[in-house]
Structure 1
Amino acid sequence: MEIFPEIKKRAEALTEELVLLRRDFHQNPELSYQEERTARVAADYLAGLGLEVKTGIAGNGVVASLPGVRPGKTVAFRADMDALPLDEQVEVPWRSRVKGVMHACGHDFHLALALGAARLLKSLQDRLAGSYRFILQPAEEGPPRGEDSGAQGMVRAGVLENPRVDAIIGLHVAPTLDVGHLRYGREVVMAGSDHLILHIMGKPAHGATPHRGVDPILVSALAFIQTRAFLSQEVDSRHPVVLTFGKIQGGQRFNILADKVTLEGSLRYLQDSVRQQVLAGLRRHLAGLAKATGARIDLSHRTIYPILRNDPRLADRAVEILRRLLGPRSLQPHSPAMGSEDFSYFAAKVPAFYFFLGVRTPGTKGHPLHSPEFNPDERALPFGLIAVAGLMTALAE
């Protein structure tokens, strides 16, 4: 497209502003459901550009719209806003000013790119087709508070309608990928995730006479072993699935058998059929264990995030656009990841393309997401802006 060289030029010129925006958000992080300052700063910035801005969506969500001057499609870009409950350990002048809260997942980058893209496209408005929507989402890190929070809440609030979005773009910083590179998947990008809760009810007894009771702590240990055996022996190893328990609670006193043990964990999967197989198998094995031990075992579950799938036709076109913008060597195919992302709620409603932006300083190992030492390389910002603004412009034609 003839406009691509201008997008590159203007993105590079916005580097300093992108850095300032990112550092402001980084120094003033807010947890999920508390993103009031973040939303206010972003909304004021977008309104100052002359965009139509709506606030208070699904909590602290913000949506801004920019029309082009020619008929075309409606393209959206989503950025998440919330931070994590971590004490930053990176010694930089722009480190977090909020004790116990840190942007350790790159949402400050995502926000800066959204605002930068809005500024860049506004400067080219008289050359644009279609319309552009910037969706700033709260509470990605969760945990979800029902259907009216996070991405699901924004979808229910109608942010993809009036006019209906033809394509939505999302990205995430990637600390395992060097600056100047992108990763993408054609279809399945990230796993679906369920929250599992296992209640094991026993029968209290004195620690000296366990034969008179039913020990739910022992039963929980047997449940761990049985679930591991089930996953390794009955689920096809070619179908990735991860079941982990991160919380266990039970017992009141060291010398009394507990009356109940509660375990909480997550089930992650890349196919809905595998999810159904695992849940059915867990119920079957736990029912057998309950019969063998005399305990009562209840399993409950709820989906946290659906499987994140890119639209294959949109992904093919997006990759072609990115190759023209950035060169073929800057793109790498991405194998599906077992992490989860609530962008999947947007992708379930309209064609979506989700990709990963390299933020690792070349020659270093970097630090993982959700680490107090996470420190993405800001040289990725103009590169990400070229990708976002170029994609939005081309897809709106």
Structure 2
Amino acid sequence: MQLNTDLYKMISKAQITEQLPEIRTWYEHLHAHPEPSFQEKETAAYIASGLKKMGLEVHRLPQNAVMGYLQATNAIGTIGLRAELDALPLHEQTNVNYISQNTGTMHACGHDLHMACALGAAKLLSAHKANLKHNVLFVFQHAEEKIPGGAVAVIASDFFKSHKPDVMLAMHSFPDLKAGEVGFRSGPYMASGDEVDVHIKGPGGHAAMPHKTVDTVLTAGQVLVALQQIQSRFIPTEIPSVLTFGNICAESVMNIIPREVLLEGTFRTMNEKWRKKALKQIKQIVQNTAKATGADAETVIRPGYPTIENDKNVTAKIENIATKLLGSKNIHLLPLRMTTDDFGYYAQKIPSAYFRLGVADSNGRSAGLHTPEFLPDPKALETGVSLLVQIIQNY
């Protein structure tokens, strides 16, 4: 990867290169010792120990989040950087010598890479705090992968409030781009995500005598069809939205009409205003459809993460830095994504930017996120650390 050496001020490319072996060691340790959401105790201890050795002010939350504060001598503001501690419930299927040692748990979303890059940036920047323009709050957050997420607890903490950033950043792995490439998008970028459970209930009965009962299975089917109005007729066509039910559970047999059918789904959209209206409409459609067949219905909605809307000024500024560092050919416009991340909570309160780090190999090959074969190209470590350092130096 060719980096623009003109951009380097305090921290040289040689210094970053010299630090890479230790960063690689951190990455491999974190990859080999993944922990599930809300159980990241050893990961948190490892991160906290590293930050303390660098001389940062370290604060730990009971929920496992770790924050490290780097105070610049003559700061004009504070930049926040979020990385995630948690891993996923998958059995890793790679052949690296640092494969997960915790059976059934692996870093399949790049959180190990994010943590290693943030640690690398913290170590490099901590040696130059006298020359930094901004304080830096490194947020190693727990439980990004599991609702209700960890961001809310971090934001509510006294330490975060007393060290509140003026700008919040998050860098995330992206298998669609090669190592050495990065992606940005201003404005709405990622969707909100709410879990929707629909319970259709009736007295149950013999399948040969449906006239003596209420057909909960038929009602469930009618509810599924009726709910597609949410996307096709209710929400304005220019607002990306998805309502998908991935599980139907009747727990019955062919000649029994069950007493209850459960539909489990997810609703995602890019607009918070319409999100609230659509969730109300979902409940209304379920009730009215069930009533027409004589069934009872209950809709349970578990609120998920809000949309991520990248601040235009913040995004433009860091994209400009990335372009100078990596060259315009390695900068890409990101497509809209219907996936979610609880970074949206930060973005609701602080001007923020969530951008992507390419992790595919030089031929563009990479397994997808959340798959047991996912393994970032380690060359992405250099790009990630260099970019974080230069953004914080030059912002």
For normalisation by structure 1, the TM-score amounts to 0.93
Residue pair 2:11, 2:124 contacting (<8 A) in 1 also: no
Residue among 80, 103, 107 paired with 2:107: 103
Q: What are the within-5 Å matches in structure 2 for residues 35-114 of structure 1?
A: 35-55=40-60, 57=61, 59-114=63-118
CA distance 1:276–1:41, shift in 2 (3 Å): closer
1:31 aligned residue: 36
The aligned counterpart of 1:310 is 310
**Rounded Cα–Cα distance in structure 2 between residues aligned with 1:281 and 1:376:** 41
Asked if 2 retains the 8 angstrom alpha-carbon contact of 1:251 and 1:259, the reply is no
SS of residue matched to 2:76: strand
Task: Report the Cα distance in structure 2 between the residues aligned to 1:285 and 1:188, rounded to whole angstroms.
Answer: 28
Counterpart-to-counterpart distance in 1, 2:394 and 2:210? 70
Alpha-carbon distance between aligned partners in 2 of 1:337 and 1:5, rounded to the nearest angstrom:
36
The CA distance in 1 between the partners of 2:279 and 2:7, in whole Å, is 52
Q: CA deviation at 1:251?
A: 3.6
What are the residue-to-residue correspondences of 1:163-242 with 2, within 5 Å?
163-228=163-228, 231-242=231-242
**Compared CA separation, residues 48 and 365, structure 1 to 2 (3 A):** same
Deviation sequence 1:55-79 (CA, Å, 0-9, x none): 1x15111011111121321111110
Q: In 2 relative to 1, CA 230–152 (structure 1 residues): closer, same or farther, beyond 3 Å? A: closer
Change beyond 3 A, Cα 1:28–1:230: closer
What is the SS of the residue equivalent to 2:302? strand
The alignment of Structure 1 onto Structure 2 pairs a total of residues equal to 390
Closer, same or farther: CA 88–8 of 1 in aligned 2, 3 Å: same
2:10 and 2:131 in contact (8 A); partners too = no
* Counterpart Cα distance in 2 of 1:66 and 1:231: 46
Displacement of 1:284: 4.2
Partners of 2:283 and 2:200 lie apart in 1 by: 13
Per-residue deviation at 1:14?
1.6
Query: Alignment partner of 2:165: what SS?
Result: coil
Deviation at 1:50, TM superposition (A): 1.2
Stretches of structure 2 lacking an aligned partner (at least 5 in a row): 1-5
Residue by residue, what CA displacement relative to the aligned partner does 1:244-272 show, whole Å, maximum 9, x if unpaired?
11233334555332111122211010112
Q: 1:370: how far off?
A: 0.5
Percent of paired sites with the same residue: 33
1:133 aligned residue: 137
DSSP-derived class of the 1:161 partner: helix
**TM-superposition CA deviations, 1:143-187 (whole Å, max 9, x none):** 32xxxx511111111453223311111011001111111111111
Structure 1 counterpart of 2:38, one-letter code: Y
Q: 1:15 aligns with which of 20, 24, 30?
A: 20
Report if the CA contact (8 A) 1:58-1:157 is conserved.
no
Match of 2:28, SS state, is: helix
The code of the aligned residue for 1:65 comes to Y
Whole-angstrom CA distance in 2 between matches of 1:159 and 1:12: 33
Match of 1:374 in 2: 374
Q: For 1:258 and 1:159, how far apart are their aligned partners in 2?
A: 52
Answer yes or no: is the 8 Å Cα contact 1:14–1:382 preserved in 2: no
User: Quick one: which amino acid aligns to residue 132 of structure 1?
Assistant: V
Which secondary structure does the structure 1 equivalent of 2:256 belong to?
coil
Cα distance between partner residues in 2 of 1:158 and 1:262:
41
Spell out, residue by residue over 1:4-46, the C-alpha distance to the aligned partner (whole angstroms, 9 max, x if none).
4734332222221111111100111101111111011111111
Unaligned runs of 5+ in 1: none
The range that moved more, 244-253 or 385-394, is 244-253
CA distance in 2, matches of 1:376, 1:29: 15
- CA root-mean-square deviation: 1.9
Give the superposition deviation at 1:317: 1.3
- For the 8 Å contact 1:76–1:392, the answer to whether it is kept is no
- The amino acid across from 1:51 in the alignment is L
After superposition, give the CA deviation of every residue in 1:93-136 in whole Å (9 maximum; x if it has no partner): 11111111110000000110111011010122232233111110
2:137–2:163 CA contact under 8 A, matched in 1: no
Contact 2:7-2:324 at 8 Å conserved across structures: no
Aligned partners of 2:211 and 2:290: how far apart in 1? 16
- Name the CA distance, whole Å, in 1 between partners of 2:72 and 2:304: 36
The question of whether the paired residues in 2 share the 8 Å contact of 1:191 and 1:307 is answered with yes
Shift of 1:212: 0.5
The answer (yes or no) to whether the contact 1:58–1:150 under 8 Å persists in 2 is no
Query: Alignment partner of 2:392: what SS?
Result: helix
What is the one-letter code of the residue matched to 2:206? H
Hey, what's the Cα distance between the residues in 2 that align with 1:324 and 1:2? 7
Give yes or no for the alignment of 1:359 onto 2:359.
yes
SS at match of 1:109: helix
Q: 2:320 corresponds to which residue?
A: 320
Q: Give the counterpart letter for 1:63 in structure 2.
A: M
Q: Give the stretch that moved more between structures: 206-215 or 4-13.
A: 4-13
Shift of 1:48: 0.9
C-alpha distance in structure 2 between counterparts of 1:58 and 1:307, whole Å = 27
Q: Which residue of the partner structure matches residue 3 of structure 2?
A: none
**Mean CA deviation greater in 256-265 or 44-53:** 256-265
Q: Secondary structure at the match of 1:348?
A: helix
Change in 2 beyond 3 A, CA 1:263/1:58: farther
